[in-house]
Amino acid sequence: MNEKSIAQLYVMTAKIPEEGIEKFNEYESHVLPLLHEHGAKMERRLQSPDRLIEIHIIWFPSSQSFENYCTDPRRNEHIYLLVESGAEIELRVMKDLK
């Protein structure tokens, strides 16, 4: 089994400026439905009460499926919304310590 075939758990943290919330939400309305098509599962989606912080815990069946999601042309055609939102994104691969 190679590294690209091992399941991965990703934690994405977005810090969104108040004026970018609507653009960020619009971006997500386009790209989150694509997760399923790449075999991914949104484990948790958390948002602060002021909507300025959002955290996603997403499981991908492999790093290759994550790469395929990231390079999906349908996702990339909406990337301008993320840029315009001004959101600062931090992405980490994590492991479950069950």
Residue 92: C-alpha distances to residues 27, 34, 56 (Å): 20, 20, 11
- Give me the pLDDT at residue 96, please: 79
What's the CA gap between 32 and 44, in Å, rounded? Answer: 12
In this predicted model, what pLDDT tens digit does every residue of 17-28 receive, in sequence order? 999 999 999 999
What's the CA gap between 28 and 35, in Å, rounded? Answer: 11
In this predicted model, what pLDDT tens digit does every residue of 35-79 receive, in sequence order? 999 999 999 999 999 999 999 999 999 999 999 999 999 999 999
Q: Contact at 8 Å (CB) between 89 and 14? A: yes
- Give me the pLDDT at residue 24, please: 98
What's the CA gap between 59 and 11, in Å, rounded? Answer: 9
Kindly indicate the confidence band of residue 2, based on its pLDDT and cuts at 50, 70 and 90: low
